[in-house]
Amino acid sequence: MAKITYIEHNGTPHEVEVKAGLSVMEGAVKNNIPGIDGDCGGACACATCHVYVDDAWRDKVGTPEDLEKSMLEFAENVEESSRLSCQIVVSDALDGLVVRMPESQH
């Protein structure tokens, strides 16, 4: 299990434990975290799980692959730290991960 802190656009934090092997998006959906929709269920076919990865964690979560990069083109307010949370697989190494949600996923 890894503790992940999801921070809503308004600054409200939600710290939850997410089982290794799940995606950061699945952890949010299973714990009813507002701000991550995951409309495609994690198939990297939409951009409704867009998050900003905290700078301290960017190297640890890695860089987006080509499909994710193309899907991020559909997200609003993309930044250098933007990732689709369905593409970040939780592991013990991500214990303490912090992600922030954009104002809107649509």
Q: How would you write the pLDDT of the chain (106 residues) with one tens digit per residue?
A: 999 999 999 999 999 999 999 999 999 999 999 999 999 999 999 999 999 999 999 999 999 999 999 999 999 999 999 999 999 999 999 999 999 999 988 7
Strands of 82-84's sheet in order across: 13-18, 2-7, 97-100, 50-53, 82-84
Whole-number pLDDT of residue 63: 93
pLDDT of residue 78: 95
- H/E run at residue 100: strand 97-100
